[in-house]
């Protein structure tokens, strides 16, 4: 890449050349792209025309936008200004009222077929959608109007992905996600409440670099971020395998950093890259389980918000670790340390969930999801 181009990025993004290359490499790594992709990304970010973006807010809490605002290297505002061109965003935009609506329509007309549509928040369908109106228009009408000529659509957050929090039973407003409303369109979903900002950034960067959105699973989620269970990469996993559990917040096991399974951790049934990508740019351990709270399954429809927090997770499968730590020295003969760990894992379960888990354990069940293990 030309030097002059890299020099320009220093002033544009306020990043040193080195940090910029690091950012590109990190993006490439997040997406599991092959060697050389970082250079392609760098080239695209430096030279590509900024795609116009329309960002819609529906039944939401602005949490998704907020988590973007705190992303660093680079911050979203830099991304807005320098990588994409944000033509409509209610929280950040300068104009108010009909001016903003006019700007949205003008941008959509001028960039017909070329703009990226980002949807944040759920879409209520009950009573013709009266529960969410923007400028007199219901969310339902607006999302159809904006999607018609979009080049690509990203649903950010669990609300936009499937309805999220507002769709929790009894779903008072008939809230649902963008993929359900826009049946005939491809919608990439980035679930999470809020989702990890880097998963969103990576998706946008992928679009900029390769002209298309990344490969997705059956639920429309980018495979690079949602193909592994939390439980597979969790730093507390050795404790799970050894049968060491916290039983209550603040008890001895909790203070020792043991596995949070018995506090209702949904890591064993939730697909997301939280433990490896982390939150908040402060280094290791900065994710909910890392700071002592069980995973609530916020990226997973039917689990996040829907299942009681203290209900035990269904173990999708258990792959035994290569070796178990010896936790019951004296019992070496009659019962292997490994089966002791498993029994400890089953002990104290609620009856229903226990049966499911025991069965899974007994059969040493393999994943139902055939995507497992592939990138």
Contact positions with other proteins (CB under 8 A) in 161-200: 165-166, 168-173, 175, 193-194
Q: Which of 40, 48, 63, 149 binds other proteins (CB under 8 A)?
A: 63
CB of 67 to other proteins, least distance (A): 6
Rounded CA-CA distance 230/247 in Å is 20
Q: Which of residues 109-138 bind other proteins (CB under 8 A)?
A: 122, 124, 127, 130-136
The pair of three-digit structure tokens given for residue 30, joined into one six-digit string: 């997040």
Rounded CA-CA distance 105/357 in Å is 53
Q: How many residues does the chain have?
A: 375
Q: Which of residues 191-230 bind ligand SF4 (CB under 6 A)?
A: 193-194, 230
Question: Site mask, ligand SF4, residues 286-325, x = CB under 6 A?
Answer: ---x-----x------------------------------
Q: Which of 240, 279, 287, 324 binds ligand SF4 (CB under 6 A)?
A: 240
Q: State the residue number with the nearest CB to ligand SF4.
A: 267
Rounded CA-CA distance 355/61 in Å is 38
Judged by CB under 6 A, does residue 33 bind ligand SF4?
no
Judged by CB under 8 A, does residue 202 bind other proteins?
no
Which of the listed partners (other proteins, ligand SF4, none) does 236 bind, with a CB threshold of 5 to 8 Å by partner kind? ligand SF4
Cβ closest to other proteins, residue 214 vs residue 268: 268
Judged by CB under 8 A, does residue 36 bind other proteins?
no
Rounded CA-CA distance 227/216 in Å is 9
Judged by CB under 6 A, does residue 272 bind ligand SF4?
no
Peptide bond into 156 cis (omega under 30): no
CB of 253 to other proteins, least distance (A): 12
Which of the listed partners (other proteins, ligand SF4, none) does 300 bind, with a CB threshold of 5 to 8 Å by partner kind? none
Rounded CA-CA distance 136/98 in Å is 11
Which of the listed partners (ligand SF4, other proteins, none) does 267 bind, with a CB threshold of 5 to 8 Å by partner kind? ligand SF4
- For residue 1, the SS3 value is coil
> Alpha-carbon dihedral of residues 70, 73, 74, 76, nearest 10 degrees?
-20
CB of 245 to ligand SF4, least distance (A): 8
Q: Which of 48, 93, 314, 326 binds other proteins (CB under 8 A)?
A: 93
Q: How distant, in Å, are the alpha carbons of 113, 182, 315, 327 from that of 187?
A: 15, 8, 29, 48
Q: 296 and 266 in contact (C-beta within 8 Å)?
A: yes
Residue 191 CB coordination number (10 Å): 29
CB of 186 to ligand SF4, least distance (A): 20
Could you tell me where the DSSP H helices lie in 211-251?
223-226, 230-233, 237-242
Return the H-helix or E-strand segment holding 101. helix 97-110
Q: Is the torsion defined by CA of 80, 33, 288, 173 positive or negative?
A: positive
> CB-based contacts of 187: which residues, under 8 Å, 6+ apart?
119, 153, 154, 155, 178, 179, 220
Which of the listed partners (other proteins, ligand SF4, none) does 316 bind, with a CB threshold of 5 to 8 Å by partner kind? none
Q: Which of 29, 106, 148, 309 binds other proteins (CB under 8 A)?
A: 309
Rounded CA-CA distance 90/93 in Å is 6
- Stretch of residues binding ligand SF4 (CB under 6 A), selected from 80-88, 127-135, 156-164, 318-326: 156-164
Judged by CB under 6 A, does residue 28 bind ligand SF4?
no
Q: 59 and 122 in contact (C-beta within 8 Å)?
A: yes
* Residue ranges in contact with ligand SF4 by CB under 6 A: 60-61, 63-64, 120-121, 157-159, 164-165, 193-194, 230-231, 234, 236-237, 240, 259-261, 265, 267-268, 289, 295
């Amino acid at each position: 890449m030309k030097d002059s181009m890299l020099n320009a990025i220093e002033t544009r993004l306020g990043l040193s050349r080195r940090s910029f290359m690091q950012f590109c490499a990190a993006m490439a790594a997040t997406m599991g792209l092959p060697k050389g992709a970082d250079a392609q990304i760098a080239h695209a970010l430096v030279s590509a025309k900024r795609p116009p973006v329309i960002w819609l807010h529906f039944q939401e809490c602005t949490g998704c936008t907020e988590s973007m605002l705190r992303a660093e290297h680079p911050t979203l505002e830099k991304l807005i200004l320098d990588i994409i061109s944000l033509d409509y965003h209610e929280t950040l935009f300068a104009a108010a009222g009909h001016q903003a609506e006019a700007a949205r329509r003008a941008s959509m007309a001028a960039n017909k077929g070329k703009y990226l549509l980002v949807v944040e928040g759920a879409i209520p369908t009950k009573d013709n959608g009266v529960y969410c109106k923007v400028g007199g228009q219901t969310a339902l009408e607006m999302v159809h109007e904006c999607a018609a000529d979009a080049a690509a659509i990203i649903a950010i957050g669990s609300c936009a992905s499937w309805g999220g929090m507002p769709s929790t039973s009894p779903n008072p407003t008939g809230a649902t996600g963008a993929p359900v409303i826009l049946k005939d369109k491809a919608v990439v979903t980035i679930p999470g409440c809020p989702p990890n900002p880097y998963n969103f950034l990576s998706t946008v960067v992928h679009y900029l670099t390769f002209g298309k959105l990344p490969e997705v699973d059956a639920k429309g989620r980018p495979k690079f971020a949602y193909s592994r269970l939390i439980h597979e990469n969790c730093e507390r996993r050795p404790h799970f395998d050894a049968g060491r559990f916290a039983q209550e917040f603040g008890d001895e096991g909790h203070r020792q950093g043991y596995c949070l399974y018995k506090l209702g951790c949904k890591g064993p049934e939730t697909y997301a890259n939280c433990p490896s990508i982390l939150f908040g740019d402060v280094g290791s351990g900065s994710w909910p389980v890392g700071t002592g709270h069980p995973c609530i399954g916020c990226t997973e429809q039917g689990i996040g918000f829907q299942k009681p927090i203290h209900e035990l997770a269904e173990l999708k499968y258990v792959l035994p670790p290569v070796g178990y730590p010896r936790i019951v020295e004296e019992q070496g003969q009659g019962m292997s340390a490994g089966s002791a760990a498993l029994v400890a894992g089953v002990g104290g379960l609620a009856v229903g969930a226990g049966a499911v888990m025991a069965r899974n354990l007994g059969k040493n069940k393999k994943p139902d999801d055939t995507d497992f293990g592939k990138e």
